[in-house]
Structure 1
């Protein structure tokens, strides 16, 4: 049954035209913009599509010429032969950069494994959660430990020795430094987010409320007047469909948030969630590692641990 009043209402023709360019965080930010400025005509441009339709930066900039505002995360050279996001900003003076959010304190064990030399062409090793790996599981595998020994390492004493319980200050400093580097200082926002509890799904997937804060600030700085509403009350958090890394119980106690060792796989939107307990997650990780060449299992964290006699002794202890 078609109900005329149930049809989706299109934005008013006179609303601002806004392009949002970015990684997986950009979709949530674009949705937040639609809620905060309901007559906006919002165009989402995933970073992974850059350079595929418009082959040159000039052509891409021309395609954005009819936009009143362009909000973009920094992107590196490699997508376009003429340069990176700074080169695009020279062609689009009204373009505003916003940071790609990474905050590791809640999930200090989560790492990427593989070739990180190019964001545009990253060759990452697969894991049960897409591309997110446990540094403990990987190092245990490389040390030749069996499943039960690796699972037994997920305890407070080991976390403390690895620095997991002291990760907040470093994670905060890294986030603030990266945001200040593009002129979008997040120190005030980080203080507010931290007072609200857990604000990340994993190391680089913020909750929708965080993206709503950034969207509102971008709109204000662009001279627009966003609604003063919490976007998370009006839209689904699309990053909930992606991988969710748990906050391990000792860390959860430290930060006053809910903790577990239950991991959630990436899922198709609308599909039921599939979760893994700690032992199942580690077992599946080890099974994947056995199928890969050793030179694909590269990780800066693990390389650092390999050079530490204290950490090697921690993993070899009965």
Structure 2
């Protein structure tokens, strides 16, 4: 006689599943809109876990520039929300202005910062035209739009692949400032958060004590986004659950590119290090990784197919003016 297991699995709540708010959904909590970049999805999911019953609406920042009717019309669509949590966005998305103009129309709106922290991944940069935030023209890379400054500068200096791979070592990292990046990264994050009235100095201290808290320069781990969500709820006068969000939901940003913490950097901060890069993957698909040699080879192939004038990067332009850095790539 076959043993029949009780059908309890279906009854297990799955708080990470995005829930819509149609009539009869059974959700009766406050209506909350979360507006932002790729980090906003994690904040929205955290809000659903921390505040059961909340009717959460996620609005990706990438959709703002395509909305008809301008900023007034967009503000009107948020009129039935009890709370609006929004990352800062520039005026390029709407003729009437950016997030500050939206907050003037929605006094109950609260800004929260975009998390950018480069100390764990000091070699990762963007390449291309960053002049207009709303219409960025970035050069692709094996990891989407994340490039290695060492690889790019080596290419522009005419170095072969083997020479470039050989530059990924501790003495080079030290000369490039990669082993002294923490204070500047921390100062930048704290300054940007204070600028919108959301000082992250206390949170940063707690995150740093927990080890590695970034997947790459602008993708924090879910625990970080959970902290942001909990604080937004508390400051809105709500009472979030005291739970670790990452224990109840998958980290969606793990599906995006993962930049490794190079071993000399990892040793400095007491975290695990490697030179294995991970591409963006489809949900449920197996991760595809690249060795350092493969990553450099693919990057060089991309650069050879690009107009040389498109390979612009502030870091590289700065290095060109430093004789000691040029000497590293010429010796």
Is TM-score (shorter-chain normalized) higher than 0.5? yes
Q: 2:200 aligns with which of 186, 208, 218?
A: 186
Q: Give, in angstroms, the shift of residue 4 of structure 1.
A: 7.8
Structure 2: unaligned runs, 5 residues or longer? 1-6, 20-24
Deviation at 1:55, TM superposition (A): 3.4
Deviation at 1:270, TM superposition (A): 1.3
How far has the Cα of 1:295 moved from its partner?
Answer: 1.0
TM-score (normalised: structure 2): 0.93
Q: Deviations over 1:52-91 (max 9, x none)?
A: 2333000000000000000000000111111000000000
**Which residue of the other structure, out of 40, 45, 51, is the alignment partner of 1:31?**
45
| Structure 1 residue runs without a partner (length 5+) | none
Q: Which residue of 1 aligns with 2:88?
A: 74
- SS of the aligned residue for 2:75 comes to helix
Which residue of the other structure, out of 276, 281, 284, is the alignment partner of 2:295?
Answer: 281
Look up the match of 1:106.
Answer: 120
> Are 2:129 and 1:115 equivalent residues in the alignment?
yes
Please list the CA deviations of residues 208-242 of structure 1 after superposition, one character each: whole Å capped at 9, or x if unmatched: 00000000000000000000000000000000000
Is the CA contact (8 Å cut-off) linking 1:55 and 1:80 kept in structure 2?
A: no
Equivalence for 1:52: 66
Matched ranges for 1:272-311 at <5 A: 272-311=286-325
Answer whether contact 1:12 1:40 (CA < 8 A) is retained.
no
Matched residue pairs, number?
317
Structure 1 residues 233 and 4: CA distance shift in structure 2, 3 A: closer
- Show the counterpart of 1:197: 211
C-alpha distance in 2 between matches for 1:218 and 1:288: 42
Matched, 1:164 2:178: yes
Cα 1:180–1:7 change in 2 (3 A) is closer
Q: CA deviation at 1:277?
A: 0.3
Q: 1:211 aligns with which of 219, 222, 225?
A: 225
1:7 Cα deviation from its structure 2 partner = 8.8
Aligned-pair CA distance for 1:271: 1.1
Moved over 3 A (4+): 3-13
Q: CA deviation at 1:14?
A: 2.4
Residue 105 (structure 2) pairs with residue 94 (structure 1): no
Q: Distance in 2 between matches of 1:261 and 1:7?
A: 38
Instruction: Give the TM-score, by structure 1 length.
Output: 0.97
Distance 1:6 1:225, change over 3 A: closer
Q: What CA deviation, in whole Å up to 9, does each residue of 1:261-294 have, x standing for no partner? A: 0000011111110000000000000000000001
